[in-house]
Amino acid sequence: MKVLITGGAGFIGSTVATRLLQEGDVPVLLDDLSRGRAEFGDPLGDGRVLYRGDIADEALVERILTEHPDIEAVVHCAARIVVPESVADPLTYYRTNVAKPLTLVRTLLRHGVRRFLFSSTAALYEPGEDFTVTEESAPNPTNPYARSKLMLEQALADITAAEPLRVLSLRYFNPVGADPELRTGLQDPYPSHALGRLIQAHEKHEPYVLMGTDWPTRDGSTVRDYIHVWDLAEAHAAALHRFDAIVAEEGPHPVINLGTGRGTTVRELVAAFDEVTGGTLEVVEAPRREGDVIGCYTRVDKAERLLGWRAAKTLREGIADSLAWAAKRPSVLGE
């Protein structure tokens, strides 16, 4: 299957491309390189093709679809993804994450492309009492980034009712790790998320700042569902290959959570990190991060039933692959 991946030069899109190539599919990438890296495109030399440009550039998307008339599906990863940035600049977030994808969808419909996989987020959930969520849990996004993702899901659902478009919204939990062969990974050397900060503390021999120790959880720190990005990419391959069967069974806009089904607290993440490195990070306790949430993990029944997939890699593998990528990243990105 030939698949257009928007945001295909970013962390998740590039990993999905690699996984699809491994499964015999052909990825065509579209990325404006605002955050993505050209090194995650054609230089990998494995057959992926990168077009540089904006998803809302109708002439460019028309050209891609004309040059690749056999594109059968789109994986839509392109977005702005940083929560605090979305609070400071909501206009850019709603334009990039809602308005531009709608222009893209219009162009796709004109060309008869009807299968659309949407990278949505677990950040839109309000967790239940026991921290678990299902696809039926009530959304309650608390920042412009998460709201923009929910808005696009809702717009796409409306569009599927009126047009031949079919959409699978995949709500990702917290991706960690890298392509195990280290061709791609996170572009940012020191991302602000929990594992990024752990790696930074480890490399710089600095203490790790644990933000929030008074949450009503088993150890006072927040809970997340950390999923290896290679497992996440495998779920995309399964979703593409089963797409028609899934919409035949579920309707034109199914939603599927992609997580491991396991909740991990920040303290547990630190302990797993120490196990992998064989060291003991110094931890400094600090107040809650502004706007933080207690967090959740997902039930995996629906993903298992519809995709025939479940996450296989452990958190320790995710941590080890993130560390290995952090060491290799500068040489891959020519820095």
Ligand X SMILES: NC(=O)c1ccc[n+]([C@@H]2O[C@H](COP(=O)([O-])OP(=O)(O)OC[C@H]3O[C@@H](n4cnc5c(N)ncnc54)[C@H](O)[C@@H]3O)[C@@H](O)[C@H]2O)c1
Give the nearest distance from C-beta 121 to ligand UPG in angstroms.
5
Other Cβ atoms closer than 10 A to 140: 13
Contacts with ligand X in 68-127 (CB under 6 A)? 77-79, 81, 96, 100, 119, 121
What span, in angstroms and rounded, lies between the C-alpha atoms of 22 and 48? 11
204 contacts: CB under 8 Å, gap ≥ 6: none
- Token pair in block for residue 10: 């970013």
- Token pair in block for residue 43: 């230089």
Marked catalytic residue, from 93, 145, 208, 297: 145
Give the nearest distance from C-beta 129 to ligand UPG in angstroms.
18
The answer to whether residue 34 forms part of the interface with ligand X (CB under 6 A) is: yes
For ligand X, give the closer residue by CB, 4 or 81: 81
Q: Which residues of 158-185 are buried (b: 16+ CB within 10 A; e: fewer)?
A: ebbeeeebbbbbbbbbbbbbbbbeebbb
266 binds, among ligand X, ligand UPG, none (CB under 5 to 8 A by kind): ligand UPG
The answer to whether residue 321 forms part of the interface with ligand X (CB under 6 A) is: no
- Residue 272, sorted as left (phi over 0), alpha (psi -120 to 50) or beta, turns out to be alpha
Q: Where are the beta strands (DSSP E) in the chain?
A: 2-6, 26-31, 49-52, 71-76, 115-121, 132-133, 166-172, 174-176, 208-211, 223-224, 226-228, 255-258, 264-265, 283-286, 297-298
Instruction: Tell me which residue of 262, 91, 278, 244 sits closest to 168, measured CA to CA.
Output: 244
21 binds, among ligand UPG, ligand X, none (CB under 5 to 8 A by kind): none
Q: Which of 111, 193, 242, 302 binds ligand UPG (CB under 6 A)?
A: 193
The answer to whether residue 33 forms part of the interface with ligand X (CB under 6 A) is: yes
The answer to whether residue 295 forms part of the interface with ligand X (CB under 6 A) is: no
What span, in angstroms and rounded, lies between the C-alpha atoms of 12 and 258? 13
13 binds, among ligand X, ligand UPG, none (CB under 5 to 8 A by kind): ligand X
289 binds, among ligand X, ligand UPG, none (CB under 5 to 8 A by kind): ligand UPG
Is 172 annotated in the active site? no
Binding window for ligand UPG (CB under 6 A); candidates: 20-28, 170-178, 238-246, 304-312: 170-178
Pattern 120-139, binding to ligand UPG, x per CB under 6 A? -xxx----------------
Task: Determine the length of the chain.
Answer: 335
55 binds, among ligand UPG, ligand X, none (CB under 5 to 8 A by kind): ligand X
242 binds, among ligand UPG, ligand X, none (CB under 5 to 8 A by kind): none
What span, in angstroms and rounded, lies between the C-alpha atoms of 315 and 319? 6
Cα-based distances in Å from 334 to 37, 141, 188: 11, 38, 13
What span, in angstroms and rounded, lies between the C-alpha atoms of 10 and 8? 5
For ligand X, give the closer residue by CB, 141 or 220: 141
Contacts with ligand X in 235-274 (CB under 6 A)? none
210 binds, among ligand X, ligand UPG, none (CB under 5 to 8 A by kind): ligand UPG
The answer to whether residue 86 forms part of the interface with ligand UPG (CB under 6 A) is: no
Cβ atoms of 315 and 261 closer than 8 Å: no
The answer to whether residue 226 forms part of the interface with ligand X (CB under 6 A) is: no
In the complex, the residues that contact ligand UPG under the rule CB under 6 A are: 81, 83, 121-123, 172-174, 193-194, 197, 209-212, 222, 224, 266, 289, 292
Residues marked as catalytic: 145
In the complex, the residues that contact ligand X under the rule CB under 6 A are: 6-7, 9-13, 30-36, 54-55, 77-79, 81, 96, 100, 119, 121, 172, 174-175
